[in-house]
């Protein structure tokens, strides 16, 4: 779909998110109903972005995301579908949630690589460069060459596994886990416990640590016995 051979191409706007890889027209269907053949969907943009991340296609992901971001910033209220011309289809549902939601998901899951499950959190950004993500109650400061700090929703004593990609290979990291407990009588949080230890990353640059849910987890590279700030 990227090479422009098919009718619906990634010219502008929606990008390669078309329901059908091969366009079918009114002569190919019963009663001339082409359905969604000539339109794009946000959910397919998500699948497409997942595939691009698997093959490391940063440039194409960036260009497609930028096109959708431009439309979101210009119009705010986006329509449900894009057409083959790469523009929003004005005859489809207006002020629809799908594309704005898709853009937010692509930023969080693909660009910043933040995926949160019930007992596991993975950080695998594309590209693997430092970033700061503070939205709602999800707080991530990622720096594979320095210090990474994470705090996400969760309750003790549930244990979470934090898996960080793109870290230094075969490197020792210091780990500080700071847990707090809230009191209904106090407007502030009070310290409950702090624990520190060290662990190493693998030869693939993946580092994993387990900690109670809801705690602040700080991971920093150790070089010559000195913790990187």
User: pLDDT digit string (tens) for 147-163?
Assistant: 999 999 887 667 899 99
Q: Is 154 left (phi over 0), alpha (psi -120 to 50) or beta?
A: left
Which pLDDT score, from 0 to 100, does residue 36 have?
73
Is pLDDT above 70 for 226? no
Residue pointed to by tokens 């191409």: 9
> Does residue 17 have a pLDDT over 70?
yes
In which band, very low, low, confident or very high, does the pLDDT at 4 lie, cut at 50, 70 and 90?
very low
Q: Judge whether 69 and 81 are in contact, CB under 8 Å.
A: no
Q: What ranges do the domains of the chain cover?
A: 26-109, 117-227
Nearest Cα neighbor of 16 from 27, 5, 29, 28 is 5
Among the CATH numbers 2.60.40, 2.30.30, 1.10.3470, 2.40.128, which is that of 117-227? 2.60.40
Instruction: Give pLDDT, residue 182.
Output: 52
The pTM of this model reads: 0.82
State whether residue 171 is helix, strand or coil. coil
Angstrom distances, CA of residue 40 to CA of 45, 55, 78, 150 = 8, 22, 13, 36
Please report which confidence band the pLDDT of residue 112 belongs to, taking 50, 70 and 90 as the band edges.
Answer: very high
What is the mean predicted confidence (pLDDT) over 192-205?
83
What is the share, in percent, of the chain residues with pLDDT greater than 90? 48
Residues in the chain: 229
Sorted by sequence, the CB contacts under 8 Å of residue 123 that are 6+ apart come out as 112, 113, 114, 140, 142, 148, 150, 162, 163, 164, 165
Q: Is the pLDDT of residue 167 over 60?
A: yes
- Cα(204)–Cα(169) distance, rounded to whole angstroms? 6
């Amino acid at each position: 779909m990227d090479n422009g051979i098919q009718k619906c191409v990634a010219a502008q706007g929606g990008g390669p998110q078309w329901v059908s890889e091969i366009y079918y027209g009114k002569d190919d269907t019963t009663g001339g109903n082409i359905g969604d053949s000539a339109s794009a969907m946000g959910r397919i943009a998500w699948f497409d972005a997942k595939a691009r991340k698997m093959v490391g296609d940063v440039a194409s992901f960036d260009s497609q995301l930028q096109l959708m971001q431009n439309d979101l910033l210009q119009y705010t209220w986006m329509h449900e579908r894009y057409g083959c011309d790469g523009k929003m289809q004005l005859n489809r549902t207006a002020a629809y949630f799908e594309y704005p939601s898709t853009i937010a998901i692509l930023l969080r899951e693909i660009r910043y690589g933040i995926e949160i499950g019930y007992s596991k959190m993975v950080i695998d950004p594309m590209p693997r460069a430092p970033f700061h993500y503070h939205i709602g109650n999800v707080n991530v400061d990622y720096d594979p060459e320095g210090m990474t700090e994470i705090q996400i929703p969760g309750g003790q004593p549930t244990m979470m596994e934090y898996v960080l990609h793109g870290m230094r290979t075969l490197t020792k990291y210091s780990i500080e886990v700071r847990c707090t407990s809230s009191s209904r009588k106090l407007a502030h949080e009070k310290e409950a416990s702090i624990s520190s230890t060290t662990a190493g990353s693998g030869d693939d640059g993946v580092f994993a640590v387990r900690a109670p849910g809801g705690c602040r987890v700080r991971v920093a590279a150790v070089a010559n016995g000195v913790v990187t700030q």
